[in-house]
Amino acid sequence: MKKFSGKVLFLDRSDINTDEIIPAKYLTEITKEALKPFLLEDLVLNGFNNKEDINDKAVIVTRENFGCGSSREHAPWALEVNGINVVIAENFARIFRQNMYNCGMFAIQLPKEKIDYLFDTYSDKDTTITIDIDRSKIIVTTQDRSDEIDFVIGEFDKTLVKEGGWVGYADKNY
Amino acid sequence: MGKTLAEKIFDAHRVNMPFPDTHVLKLDRVFCHEITTPIAITDLMARGMDRVFDPTKIKAVIDHVTPAKDSKTAEQGKILRDWAKRHGIKDFFDIGRNGVCHAIFPEKGFVRPGFTIIMGDSHTCTHGAFGAFAAGVGTTDLEVGILKGVCAFHSPKTIKFVLNGSLKPGVYAKDLILFIIKELTVNGATNMVIEFTGPVVDAMSMESRMTLCNMAIEAGGTSGVCYPDMTTVEYLWEFIKDEFSSKQEALKEYSKWISDEDANYEKIYEYDISNLEPMVTFGFKPDQVKPVDEMIGTKIDQVYIGSCTNGRIEDLRIAAEILKDKKINDDVRGIVSPATPDIYTMALKEGIIEIFQNAGFCVTNPTCGACLGMSNGILANGESCASTTNRNFNGRMGKGGTVHLMSPATAAASALEGKITNSQLYKG
């Protein structure tokens, strides 16, 4: 199973689309690793620099409709090869969300007030998030405080994360 | 309680429900192109599972970058080509016979009412125009689809649009779908199927219905659907005439793929669209839409007519009617990409290609290239394009470029002016 813990990258914007996550010109790559330098290269967000801000991050916290647009699974893969296996948002575009779980990664949906709370309390701090799958808790910590936030995911999604993705599960069951 | 079209299709295709709200469906079609499929193939090979569930249900095309532009895209094409040959996938469309996936697959008669279809391409929702449940998926879903012929979906909720009245001259399906996306916003239909119904849709050609369904994803929709009717039967007749004794019989069979009157909808919108004006996008989201009159005068550097949204013969005819005996503005680059070889041939025979060329357009082979900035037709930093495509994301057609989405008529008129204009000024 993948690692679901580490430093948080806060992206304070809604509708971050798949072209921003990984531009189409890189879809000619046929290995996931080749996508690594290009994650969020075209993201329109004040002050964001993909060369510096992604370094050593493992979790993204963002607003609404993350991953809208293309079906390209290159978007989760670009996250994965950068060590980011968790995205927490108010909601996700369907295909992107399914792609995350199909790859054994987390796309966790939280109500608006909890997303607001995370931004208000933690976005200006050096924050770490750990996903406790069995207890369905998001554990948020900084040097001087911590929180536990409940999350809900379906049984299918949980199974895909635990089994490492859809291909293995489907091969056993269909 | 009655059922929606999507619920009926789910009932007819459900293999099982391994978890609550998880329907595993049997697939009638798995469509493939050379950008998202090769990684699925490579992964299946690496897992020792280089198999396909049914070569007759898999259809493949090289369309995003064709002819190959470099060694990497040549390699992608080669992986798909070799795989199709290895597994006896007869319906494989390579250069010379290839076209934009969502235009060529319906044209070849591969879609039927009531089908389940997936493809590693978000605009797969286009095929819902035939009353099918067609959804874009990622490479892993595609991989399982290829291997096992199944895909998992949550229960489909449905939004219904009842579109009354009729479209004014100079207003098209593209204007209508831009208006609908504006109403829904970019995630207003997430996880939902959008049903397009009413007299406006009844009067539409299959091409126009495909334009409507094509952009369902831009409101987040899983699929867009229209109810099958005699227009659907007429479009498919060449491919189904051996299955039915008459068109009426085919219509009767296909008519089971409509929603019940008492079906449960998430929301129903009803509009009289008789006063709808041509629409154009601004900004970087497809719900940023204004009537063309509020965008008139916006300078453009390139005009692109093509793509899975508006590269069909109907679209080229509409544009050609405006461009006939005229020249495009000196400061504009005009590009037209007929979406399939058959469309190209029809356009040649009808004199449409000549009209485009005489007007100053460059005519390319059928390809998706410009729409997503993958091969030809890329914008320079700071340039803008009047485009009949489906997405205006930042940098979509090239870093620093801006895309304005519009109908072929608006695009053609804008090419003449070198700035966004209302095509109705060029009519009659």
Instruction: Provide the pLDDT for residue B426.
Output: 85
Dihedral (CA of B201, B203, B204, B209) sign: positive
Give the CATH number for residue B27.
Answer: 3.30.499.10
The mean pLDDT of A151-166, rounded to a whole number, is 95
Q: How far is B57 from B23, CA to CA, in rounded Å?
A: 20
pLDDT, position A31: 87
User: What does the pLDDT read at residue A14?
Assistant: 98
Contacts of A70 in chain B (CB under 8 A): 122, 372
Residue B428 lies in a domain: no
Query: Are residues B94 and B48 part of one domain?
Result: yes
- In this predicted structure, what is the pLDDT of residue B318? 98
Domain boundary pick from B271, B293, B320: B271
Co-location of B264 and B305 in the same domain:
no
Q: Alpha-carbon distance B244 to B425, whole Å? A: 46
Task: Kindly report whether the peptide bond that precedes residue B291 is cis, defined as omega within 30 degrees of 0.
Answer: no
Q: Is B259 in the same domain as B293?
A: no
Amino acid at B349: K
Does a structural domain hold residue B321? yes
| Residue at B58 is within a domain | yes
Q: What is the CATH number of the domain that holds A22?
A: 3.20.19.10
Q: Judge whether B368 is annotated as a binding position.
A: yes
| Cα-based distances in Å from B53 to A6, A43, A46, A50, B346 | 40, 39, 48, 41, 36
Query: Nearest Cβ partner of B140 from A65, A70, A102?
Result: A102
**Does residue B331 sit in the same domain as residue B378?**
yes
Q: Are A74 and A65 in contact (CB under 8 A)?
A: no
ipTM of model: 0.97
Asked if B149 and B132 touch (Cβ cutoff 8 Å), the reply is: no
- Chain B nearest CA to A145, separation (Å): 35
Can you read off the two tokens belonging to residue B416? 């003449």
Do A167 and B22 make contact, defined as CB atoms within 8 angstroms?
Answer: no
- Residues from chain A that touch B49, judged by Cβ atoms under 8 A, are 171
Q: A144 CB near a chain B CB, below 8 Å? A: no
Residues of chain B with pLDDT under 50: 428
Contact (Cβ atoms closer than 8 angstroms) between residue A164 and residue A155: no
**List of residues 6+ apart from B302 with CB closer than 8 A:** B332, B333, B334, B335, B377, B379, B383, B384, B385, B386, B387
Q: How confident is residue A1, by pLDDT bands cut at 50, 70 and 90?
A: confident
The residues facing B291 across adjacent strands are B279
Among B241, B271, B301, the domain boundary falls at B271
- Does the residue B168 lie in any domain? yes
3-state secondary structure of B241: coil
B36 and A170: CB-CB below 8 Å? no
Partner residue opposite B138 with nearest CB, options A27, A91, A98: A98
Residues B143 and B285 in one domain: no
Residue A94: pLDDT band with limits 50, 70, 90: very high
The one-letter code for the residue type at A34 is: A
- Rounded to the nearest angstrom, the minimum Cα separation between A131 and chain B is 22
Tell me which of B222, B241, B271 is where a domain ends: B271
Tokens of B223: 């699929």
B101 in a labelled binding site: no
Residue B246 sits in the same domain as residue B284: no
- Please give the tally of structural domains in chain B: 2
pTM passes above 0.95? yes
Amino acid of residue B389: T
Distance spanning both ends of chain B, measured CA to CA:
50
- A48: containing domain: 5-173
pLDDT of residue A38: 96
> Shortest Cα distance from B201 to chain A (angstroms)?
25
Q: Are residues B214 and B293 in the same domain?
A: no
Residues B361 and B251 both lie in one domain: no
The CA distance from B329 to B348, in Å, is 23
Alpha carbon of B140: minimum distance to chain A alpha carbons (Å): 6
Q: How many domains does chain A have?
A: 1
Domain that holds residue B76: 5-271
Q: Average per-residue pLDDT in chain A?
A: 96
Q: Domain check: are B30 and B129 in the same one?
A: yes
Which among A25, A64, A72 has CB closest to B36?
Answer: A72
Is residue B300 located within the same domain as residue B230?
A: no
Q: Above 70 in pLDDT, residue A144?
A: yes
pLDDT at residue A12 tops 90:
yes
Tell if the CB–CB gap between B394 and A165 is shorter than 8 Å. no
Q: Is the pLDDT of residue A51 over 90?
A: no
Which chain B residue's Cα is nearest to A172? B148
Q: What local confidence, expressed as pLDDT, does residue B261 receive?
A: 95
Q: In this complex, which of B47, B374, B393 lies closest to A69 when CB atoms are compared?
A: B393
Pair (B379, B400) in one structural domain? yes
| B94 and B11 co-located in one domain | yes
Residue B251: inside a domain: yes
